Amino acid sequence: MGYMARHGTARARPAELVPGTASVITARLDYWPEAARDAVDALSRPDLGYVSRYATGRDYHKVMRSRLQALADRITREIGEFPHRVFTDSAPVMEVALAARAGIGWRGKHTLLLTREAGSTFFLGEIYTGLALAPDAPAQAHCGTCTKCLAACPTGAIVAPYELDARLCISYLTIEHKGPIPESLRPLVGNRIYG
């Protein structure tokens, strides 16, 4: 996860990442398939390997990127050429903070963006642009005193509200971690093999 430190303040300052950025258009794309088997049922079956639902469809980087580029193309047809760059988990973008500021949802105590209708089962993407656009109002947070996400985290990676220890996160352990999963975490990871 050293890539986060390598990009320093550019992560929090869009114009440092893409010079000339005046606004960020942010969007979400839901991924939970309606016909998907219940996750709780699949996770309770040690004879099955569980792959996170977001990884069971087409590569979301390509899907989201093409949809955001189609939006940029539509804007170009309406107003003419404009400076922009599309991102979908492809650069050191603070996408949750941007989406929260844009009113798409609020940061949950599990550190992800949260909405009432989709939980946190969606992808985020951005168009950094030189257009000076009027900002949307941020969404109001609705977590209140709820701590269900902290209690539900199998490995205890959500160590406090709004604080995640990525070294304990199943997504990190099954995708980015180099080497074997520590033995003490294996029973907690269960049959999750990706994501």
Maximum Cα–Cα distance across the chain = 57
Whether 59 sits among the annotated catalytic residues: the reply is no
Residues sharing a CB contact under 8 Å with residue 172, sequence separation 6 or more, in sequence order: 1, 166
Residue that the structure tokens 């996750």 belong to = 39
Active-site annotation holder among 41, 89, 136, 165: 89
Q: Cα dist. 36→72, 80, 119, 194 in Å?
A: 31, 41, 16, 16
Which residue, chain included where needed, has tokens 């070294």? Answer: 167
**Shortest CA distance to 12 belongs to which of 70, 77, 95?**
95
147/97 Cα distance (integer angstroms): 20
Residues serving a catalytic function are 89
